[in-house]
Amino acid sequence: MAIGLDPGLSAGARIEAECSATTVPPLTTVRIINSIRIVEISASLKLMAKTRLRLVSPATVKRTVTPTRRPNSELRPREHLTEREVEKLIQAAKGNRWGQRDSTMLLLAFRHGLRASELCGLQWSDVEFASGTLHLRRAKGGQTSTHPLLGDELRALRALKRDAKSLFVFVSERGAPFSVSGLQKLVERVGIEAKIPFKVHPHMLRHATGYALANKGTDTRTLQAYLGHRSIQSTVRYTELAPGRFKNLWR
């Protein structure tokens, strides 16, 4: 017990009185990142451990952030395939382990201008063999439409239907619906096998549909409805590059 303290004080009061009677400088806690360090404050000096920060001089040259991905114009000369290139892709896909499935996917994607998600989401309820039609649910808020199926498409789909055990038209080896990433890898691999001189991705098949139909003289409104575009500005890009518009200029 400290001298001069009232013996009748409680334990807490005695501790507080003893602390106030001492001359030791108060201690202050400072939190730095994830650790707690003690800083002793004296009359003319503050002692604290060094932080992990390092002082550096500011940069004198202003520069932009280095892009993480090269632009498409540097990766490939164009964003669409010609009809001949699509045929080469389909023929190369027939040589795969699941050639019937892979070639049918590429055929339908080109004939109907399907996005990757639209192709992978096709179900057997969307196919009517009796009437030879295909019901399409467009992504990105596009217009739902019904497309006719040609003879080679019906034959390819019937071949898949005979062994079908899923609600989805295209499934993986384990029976799960075919994924968009799986389609991207498939198209890229088939493009290498077909010796396409640049990297190929699934959306190039949709662009190939637009350019092929524009070259055949399809009017812009019909092409817009066939591809399910909400805005006609998305369709004009195909008719602008159609070589048929300049066919008879020198005759």
List residues with catalytic annotation.
115, 140, 203, 206, 229, 238
**CA–CA separation, 49 and 55 (whole Å):** 16
Cβ contact 127:160 at 8 Å: no
Closest CA to 212 of 133, 113, 130: 113
For residues 19 and 26, give the distance between their C-alpha atoms in angstroms, rounded to a whole number. 10
Q: Give the C-alpha separation, 178 to 225, whole Å.
A: 26
CA distance 9 to 17: 10
Least Cα distance to 168 among 217, 104, 81, 111 occurs for 104
The tokens describing 93, both together, are: 């896909």
- Starting at the edge strand found earlier in the chain, the sheet holding 46-47 runs 27-32, 35-41, 46-47
Distance CA 160, CA 99 (A): 11
